[in-house]
Chains A and B, each alone.
Chain A
Amino acid sequence: MKYKNAIIASLAIAGIAAGVLAVTAQGSTSRLDTVKKRGKLICGVNATLSGFGFLDSNGKYSGFDVDFCRGVAAAVFGDASKVDFVSLTAAARFTAIQSGEVDVVFRNTTFTSSRDGDVGVDFGPINFYDGQGVMVKADSAAKRIADLAGATICTNQGTTTEQNINDYFRQRKLQIKVVTYQDFNLVMAAFNQGRCDAVTTDSSGLASQKATSADPSNYRILGEVISKEPLAPFVAQNDSKWRDVVSWTVYSTIYAEELELTSRNIDAAKTSTDPVVRRFLGLEGTSGKGLGLSADFAVDIIKAVGSYKEIFDRNLGPKTKLNLPRRQNANYEQGGLLYSPPFR
């Protein structure tokens, strides 16, 4: 009965074809509806960068970027725990969005025109202003980055840092050798073994690596910053409804700091008579509804993860190992670059 097998095979293939069709048909709705239907947000983060995204030995994620993921979950569901984290390498993060594996990525990613244009992702607002730095061993002879002419520099694959460091030395007609690894853990392993004379990545990343190493005094971060690295979340291209949700989640935390609202005083603020505060809390106006969220979505975010200041202090501030200064990540009123559009 040869043809019987053929018919069964045809039916099986037709089944797969139907599956493919179903996947194709899914394409036209916003990610926001998909997330709501699923009842859970899937957020791509770094698992190895302490302070930003880190998976601890108990299997719990923590960090600055991780808190923003929780904020998005709070905005959509009113419950910051409704989020699953997926750890992504630098090289895998864009494909993870393109394939729909994750809904949004908060993973210390530099916002650039080619990524916005060619890669097929859309960026949300910048949530951390950074710049690329270089770290050497404490006993290195190099005082400035240019002293590293002829040196071997390690970094991780699939990042803007690869090109930046090359451009920096090329412009000064100096030679360097760049060795790249998939994961920053491997970069640090090779650096510690003496394979490279220096490592390079975002300054915040270097500070994190230094602070969480066995002996931070082994390393020295050189003073110069060689590039602009504005770090921002990103979502799949051409889905403005979903991007709006991510964007206004970030703005909520910045706006809360401007209004001096925190996770502790936000409930008390509901009695405020200030129309600006009342609109932010969803007591007036319809901003939440227009975004496809609840009227008081900002309250849910701030209650769950706090204002930008609280998120920063909790993960990167003076009480943490990293002890990063706010500098350009301060609010515009304090001379920083953080500025939220108004909620109205």
Chain B
Amino acid sequence: MNSQMQASVPFYRDVKKLALIAQVVFLVVVVLLIALVINNINLGLKKQNLNFSFDFLNQTAGFQVAEGTAFGVPYDSSSDNYFKVVFVGLYNTLRVAVTGMILATVLGVLVGIGRLSSNWLVGRLALVYVEILRNTPVLVQLFVWYFVVILGLPAISKAQPILGVYLSNSGLATPWLVQKPDMPNFFPVTIIAVLIGLAVFAFFSNQRARTGKPTPAGWYAIAAWLLVQIIGFFALGQPLEYGAPVRGNFGVTGGLQVSPEFTALLIGLVVYTSSFIAEITRAGIQSVNKGQTEAARALGLGYSETLQLIILPQALRVMIPPLGNQYLNLTKNSSLAVAIGYSDVLNVLGTAGNQSGQNLQTFFIAGIVYLILSFTIAFLVNLYNSATRLRTR
């Protein structure tokens, strides 16, 4: 009986079959559309006698990049190819993004706590800070930081060194340990040392959480990091030497040089992103039940101890997902570097595209690079999120 009834229903009145047909049609249309777009690109390229190939990456780049190395390997515009120059740009992007994320988080959390301060002046100042920075375009802020603030510093010819450090509108030049040219690359050692430091920190914080014994995890981490750096330094046959900035005809050479473009971009991104992180922090703290504060105070904990040990750890759980969004934004906003002449990956790829004429390919590479960066950040944030979230049994 039942099967008979089903058989008598025509397919155009059978919801299940219609849904299936609609999905098939939809799929076919999507596939056709993608094919059309690819075909259109191909036709356009053929019409202009262009090949979509990445062979140009092997050609000598021939243009200078103002700063940065291919992850510690120096770049020479006379012999190195486009492939290598992309890595110089990537290194510059990562340099500003990673430093930016750390500083923006510290500054943002401080301002966020300030927003909730019972001190009227602190609260109002934090409010003004957040509202001004959050509601003006980051590009405008970058122009102000670069052209007004940083380039407004005295010229290098007039700058007076303080303890060997020059601060001028050519940037910051300070005595530093610099890589010897014909020695092994020290950069990977630094990366490994930082990773080991982080691992040590995670281990001891975990132990503290398990045993309840106060352990100075931060100090252990710093000690481990320094130890690895020193061991690496001697293991590689001392590839670093002391270098101090020396004044020449034009500007200073030697030592560690931080360019005004990097400084302006870093400050601009940190300050802008910190205003959003401040709001996230405020929301996170306010999401923690007031009873928690009262209980902590009743146990005799002071204001800062309550904040550090009771409120922030719980607020962090709420804060992590939106924080991840801000990290993604910061990384993508770093592509505004091109406006103030910082050689980030998009800037370098833009120049590469213009010099080689392979604009489509360089934009394609830029898209892939940012996609990988964003996915990596999102993955790390999710990893941290799942490790710290409240476990309900």
Contact = CB atoms under 8 A, between A and B. Distances in A.
Interface of A: 2-3, 6-7, 9-10, 13-14, 16-17, 20-21, 23-24, 27, 90-91, 94-95, 98, 114-115, 117-121, 141, 148-152, 154, 157-159, 162-163, 166-167, 170, 176-182, 186, 189-190, 193-195, 197, 236-238
B250 A150 contact: yes
Given A27-B44, A150-B251, A152-B170, A162 B341 contact: no
Contacts of B37: 20
Contacts of B169: 193-195
27 contacts: A2-B22, A9-B26, A13-B26, A13-B30, A17-B36, A27-B44, A27-B47, A90-B354, A91-B350, A98-B48, A141-B249, A150-B251, A151-B251, A152-B170, A158-B351, A170-B77, A178-B63, A179-B66, A179-B261, A180-B341, A180-B347, A180-B351, A182-B338, A189-B147, A193-B147, A197-B251, A236-B48
A181 B37 CA distance: 33
Nearest to B253: A150
Interface centre among B22, B39, B77 (most CB of A within 10 A): B22
B119 interface: no
Contacts of B63: 162-163, 166, 178
Nearest to B17: A3
Contact of B25 (A10, A157, A179): A10
Nearest to B16: A3
B223 interface: no
Contact of B62 (A157, A167, A176, A180): A167
A223 to B, nearest CB: 20
B189 interface: no
Nearest to A95: B359
B356 A118 contact: yes
Contacts of B64: 162, 166, 176-178
B29 A166 contact: no
B373 interface: no
A168 to B, nearest CB: 12
Interface size class of B (residues with CB under 8 A): 35 or more
B209 interface: no
B254 to A, nearest CB: 12
A158 to B, nearest CB: 4
A21 B50 contact: no
B77 A166 contact: yes
B78 interface: yes
A12 to B, nearest CB: 9
A10 B47 CA distance: 30
A163 B62 contact: yes
B181 interface: no
A185 B222 CA distance: 46
Contacts of B33: 13, 16-17, 20
A189 B147 CA distance: 8
* A-B pairs with lowest CB-CB distance, top 6: A118-B357, A119-B357, A158-B354, A120-B48, A3-B22, A193-B151
Contacts of A20: 33, 36-37, 40
B110 to A, nearest CB: 31
Contacts of A24: 36, 39-40, 43
A278 to B, nearest CB: 39
A117 B56 CA distance: 13
Nearest to A100: B44
Nearest to A18: B36
A49 to B, nearest CB: 18
A15 B97 CA distance: 41
B49 interface: yes
Given A20-B36, A95-B359, A118-B358, 11 more contacts: A7-B22, A13-B29, A91-B350, A98-B359, A118-B357, A120-B357, A150-B250, A178-B64, A179-B66, A193-B152, A193-B169
Nearest to B51: A118
B380 interface: no
Nearest to A97: B48
A94 B50 CA distance: 13
B151 A6 contact: no
B22 A6 contact: yes
B32 interface: yes
A216 to B, nearest CB: 21
A150 B248 contact: yes
Contacts of A197: 250-251
